[in-house]
Amino acid sequence: MSNGSNLDFKGRVAIVTGAGGGLGRQHALALAARGAKVVVNDLGGARDGSGGSVSAAQAVVDEIKAAGGEAIANGASVTDFEAVQAMVKEAVDAWGRVDILVNNAGILRDKSFAKMDLADFRLVVDVHLMGAVNCTKAVWALMNEQKYGRIVMTTSSSGLYGNFGQSNYGAAKLALVGLMQTLSIEGAKNDIRVNCLAPTAATRMTEDLFPKEMLEAFRPEAVVPAMLVLAAQDAPNRTILCAGAGTFEAAHITLTQGAWLGIEADTPEQLAARLSEVTDREGEAVPQSGAAQGANEVAKGMANAKRN
């Protein structure tokens, strides 16, 4: 326990999806160790999403209980909204509230875009994006009503920066950032804070990507501190935290200062000629809402009009 800091989760109720193994398991164990009551959700399927059994989730629950914590297992698929609603009801029936949702469930169907079946693209988007949407929607009214909520979306460097063979996964993962951007604005008035976590960890999902000597450094436990900070009472809002092997970074979607070129017949040629000026990162900013882009454009246009 960290000396009276806000990383004490006593009295809090958390739902962690995909918590039967890997990162989700570590998230559930850490929240429980710090006092949270935890719904350990896991479909129990293979990493490509096939199959299913609640035994993985139950094993984590048993582990939490053996350490003196409180937890219940749940086998709902995050793609099944009714099952997700029932999971939330189960948590409320047991403990009266839901304070924290960690959207961690995911699958992989990696292939180059040229070889990828569209069904595999849709399924990955359905699990990662719609799975998080379903779980978030199921707790949203409750969190608004209790005027408290902490939601963590699991994004990925594959979404933020791309990765060969992961067009489906990357598209779904960056979509979660877009979801976070708006929900963090809509939830702010009722103290619902929504953030993203981009983990680098050696789990069943990524075990093929790491050389053996790096597996220890990139163990899932190293990502957990970032999740705890994003799920805590003093959590930030609209933050993308990256974490792996003991290093923590923040990612931002920025807007450059840009250049006013007007609306003329030769504006396409002007843009082509001055593209390096438009993309120059000097003075770039992190907008607080989508309206900031329009505001920058209006300001530049008006300044130019005054000059003329």
Residues identified as active-site: 169
Distance CA 12, CA 27 (A): 14
Locus of tokens 């792996």: 244
- Amino acid letter for position 255: L
**C-beta separation of 39 from 90 below 8 A:** yes
Per-residue buried b or exposed e for 132-165, using 16+ beta carbons within 10 Å of the residue's own CB:
bbbbbebbbebbbebebbbbbbbbbbbbbeebeb
**C-beta separation of 62 from 256 below 8 A:** no
DSSP letter for each residue of 153-192: EE--HHHHH--TT-HHHHHHHHHHHHHHHHHHHHHGGGTE
Q: Please give the helix or strand (H or E) that residue 71 lies within, else none.
A: strand 71-74
DSSP letter for each residue of 1-49: --TT-TT--TT-EEEETTTTSHHHHHHHHHHHHTT-EEEEE-----TTS
Distance CA 227, CA 59 (A): 22
Locus of tokens 């501190």: 225
Token digits of residue 47: 């990493």
Looking at the chain, how many residues does it have?
Answer: 308
Q: Which of 161, 153, 145, 146 is nearest to 182 (CA)?
A: 153
Per-residue buried b or exposed e for 169-189, using 16+ beta carbons within 10 Å of the residue's own CB:
bbbbbbbbbebbbebbeebee
Distance CA 32, CA 25 (A): 11
